[in-house]
Amino acid sequence: MDNNAANHGDDENMTNNEDDDSTKHARDNLLTLMDTFIQQILNIRKTLLGVSISALILAPIAIGLSVYLIRHPSFFAILEIENEFGSVLTVLLVSVIIISCIWLYAGIKQYRKIGSWSSRYNDYLNEKREINRKISSQFGME
């Protein structure tokens, strides 16, 4: 009976070791998955930064051009000569101004959010490095 009990204890130890290994493997996979996810967010952030910068550049240009065309003396001459065309042109220019203002506002708002996200992400990376360094020094894994 003692032999069977010893074998049974070894089986439990092997099962516990396998559970520990599978738990560690799952934790490592989760950490790797989170790091990969954060890297993808960082790549998306770069794209959003490009979009917000283009909004900050192109929206004022569109607004300026539309205002210039509306204030130009020939604009009123076109309105008087071409009734339907003048009306459509007026609606289009006003639409460009409104949409560009919205786009400019969204670009500024997005740029600010990206900036704050960047600083928080850098804080996260620094904290992660510090924790890894502490763990490595504590367990002598340098």
pLDDT, one tens digit per residue, over 36-57 is 887 888 788 888 888 888 888 9
Within the chain, strands assigned E span none
Q: Check if the beta carbon of residue 62 is closer than 8 Å to that of residue 100.
A: yes
Q: How far apart, in Å, do the first and last CA atoms of the chain sit?
A: 47
**In terms of Cα–Cα distance, which of 56, 42, 25 is closest to 114?**
42
Write the pLDDT tens digit of every residue in 63-95: 999 999 888 888 888 888 877 888 888 899 999
Distances (CA, A) of 128 to 27, 67, 119: 16, 51, 14
CA distance 60 to 70: 15
Whole-structure pTM value: 0.57
Q: Inform me whether the pLDDT recorded for 58 exceeds 80.
A: yes
